[in-house]
Amino acid sequence: MTKSLFLLLTLLFIQSTTIFFLSRQNIKQLFFIFKKILSHKKNYHQKTIYKIISLIFLPGTIIHELSHFFVAIVLFLPVKDIQIFPKFEEGQIKLGQVFYVKKDFLRGILVGVAPFFGALFLFFGLSFFNLFPNESLGINIFLLYLIFTVSSLMFSSKQDLVDIGYLIPFLLFLLIIGYIFQPFIPSFNLSYFKNIIAGLEFFLTNVNYYLFLSILIHVFLMGIFFLVDRKI
């Protein structure tokens, strides 16, 4: 592993963690804003707020659940059902859910972390095809909205966080081992390994740009939500 690859992976981890906390704060702030607005209405019900927030984050929910779905299919895990619209169960709202047959621990983790990597591949696609920024203001606004909702739901469910919690220590261990023993492994000097590393660096560079853009969007909206909350 090269130093640049190690730094890019470190940046990926830091930015992803930052987005996790910012997105949680923004979703919570949105909830309180709508609660203040709607609490004065007759026949007010908290489910109304959940429905509004679910609609706002629908694009992110679709990407999230499709990521679960496709990885389950690739890993030969039968999918029983996929839900991308909100559903109320036991006083809580579920933005979406994929029901599949769990057969072993490893494949369960890979399906669990799929939305995180689904978001990364979406961001890479935006960068690779130069879709943002665009000449059209409308398309730019839509893409910023898409980036916001997808990054907000990169880690949406508790089970996804548990799966990532299992995976991260393992990946960090492999990275540390690779970094320490890299000088002693001759195969790292082979051309195909260099091509793989160069490809990873290219991918991570583009992805980290969009993660940074996501952070800027979240910080900007956090400021807007704060001002709106104070004015209500």
Tokens 């966080």 found at: 161
Nearest to 103 by CA among 81, 70, 69, 79: 79
Quick check: is 223 in a domain? yes
Quick check: is 125 in a domain? yes
Quick check: is 18 in a domain? yes
97 within 8 A of 114, measured Cβ to Cβ: no
Question: Would you give the distance in Å from CA 83 to the centre of its chain?
Answer: 18
pLDDT value of position 81:
87
Whole domain around residue 215: which residue ranges? 3-40+104-231
Q: Determine which helix (DSSP H) or strand (DSSP E) holds 144, and give its type and residue range.
A: helix 137-152
Inter-axis angle of helices 137-152 and 58-74, nearest 10? 60
Task: Walk along the chain (232 residues) and give the pLDDT tens digit of each residue.
Answer: 577 888 998 899 899 989 999 999 999 999 899 988 887 776 667 778 888 888 999 999 999 999 999 999 999 999 998 888 766 655 556 677 888 888 877 788 888 889 999 999 999 999 999 999 889 999 999 999 999 999 999 875 655 556 666 666 666 676 666 666 665 555 545 566 677 788 889 999 999 999 999 999 999 999 999 999 888 7
Residue 23, CA distances (Å) to 2, 134, 152, 183 in order: 32, 25, 5, 40
Quick check: is 20 in a domain? yes
Quick check: is 52 in a domain? no
Quick check: is 64 in a domain? no
Pairing of strands 87-89, 92-94: antiparallel
- For the chain, the domain total comes to 1
pTM higher than 0.95, yes or no? no
pLDDT value of position 5:
82
3-state helix, strand, coil in the chain (%, to 5): 75, 5, 20
pLDDT value of position 223:
95
Quick check: is 56 in a domain? no
pLDDT value of position 224:
95
pLDDT value of position 215:
97
Quick check: is 88 in a domain? no
d(CA 199, CA 195): 6
